[in-house]
Amino acid sequence: MTSSYDHIEILVEDNLAFLVFNRPDQLNAMNRKMMSEIIQGIEAINLNEQVKVAIIKGKGRAFMAGADIKEYASQTPEEFNTFQENGKKLYESIEQSPKPWIAAVDGFALGGGCEIALCCDLILASSRSALGLPEVHLSLIPGGGGTQRLTQKVGINIAKEMLFTGGQYTAAELYSRGVVNRVFDDNNFDEEVLAFAKKLARRSTQSIAQLKWLVQLSLTSVLFEDRIDEEGRAVEQLFLTDEARQAIKAFISKTKD
């Protein structure tokens, strides 16, 4: 199954979905129309019960080189506010999805592109990739949650360095800082991402959904004791499902052989 838009593509193969940024001549820079299409695409994937794992990637030399600066600069205050609100909706629709979302970064992921990667559950990057939040060079700051999500991942000191300098960082550097989960060779990047996603798709969807929610809960101001209680309720709920019962029985049967 494939779905086409003007600036993105959506492909669904078996239980994997691919949302592909498709403005390669513009390094997949995001304009208002593209943002709207991305939101629509994410919602379609989230509602598709066939999909167990979603992957975001870009065509050409970039994952996404941020916002389309020409359009961005010409916005009225009202258009700017709408753009920001839609951006918030985009990022939250990934984070709040029960499905795991993978950012497959091959090339540049800057500004809004880096922010999209940061709100994904996992970042897989090719060795040639560069990620960063360069907004300070335009006398701006990241406006899509980059300051908060980056700090959650790397800590305050490193986040300040990266944000203050607005530098670009290699996949290897960000792997060492805990931002990137895996770094794959450029020549077989797509194959490695596909193999990783297929392995993840074999995991229980209900377990992954609970794990994603509980990990996100750990970043909130909810009391630790209450978070532990939520974990307990989740494992009890899963334990009583037919899927878990069958998996436990299969494991016991296998260990007896």
- Catalytic pick among 13, 43, 92, 135: 135
| Token pair in block for residue 34 | 């593209």
- Catalytic pick among 37, 78, 92, 115: 115
Question: pLDDT by residue (tens digit) across 188-246?
Answer: 999 999 999 999 999 999 999 999 999 999 999 999 999 999 999 999 999 999 999 99
Does pLDDT of 255 surpass 80?
Answer: no
Q: Is 71 a catalytic residue?
A: no
How much is the pTM? Answer: 0.94
Residue 256 binned pLDDT confidence (cut-offs 50, 70, 90): low
Give the pLDDT confidence score for residue 111 in this predicted structure. Answer: 96
Partners of 30 in the β-ladder: 67
Q: Is 135 a catalytic residue?
A: yes
Question: pLDDT by residue (tens digit) across 169-195?
Answer: 999 999 999 999 999 999 999 999 999
Instruction: Give the whole-number percent of the chain exceeding pLDDT 90.
Output: 90
Question: pLDDT by residue (tens digit) across 25-61?
Answer: 999 999 999 999 999 999 999 999 999 999 999 999 9
Amino acid at 165: T
Question: pLDDT by residue (tens digit) across 53-107?
Answer: 999 999 999 999 999 988 988 999 999 999 999 999 999 999 999 999 999 999 9
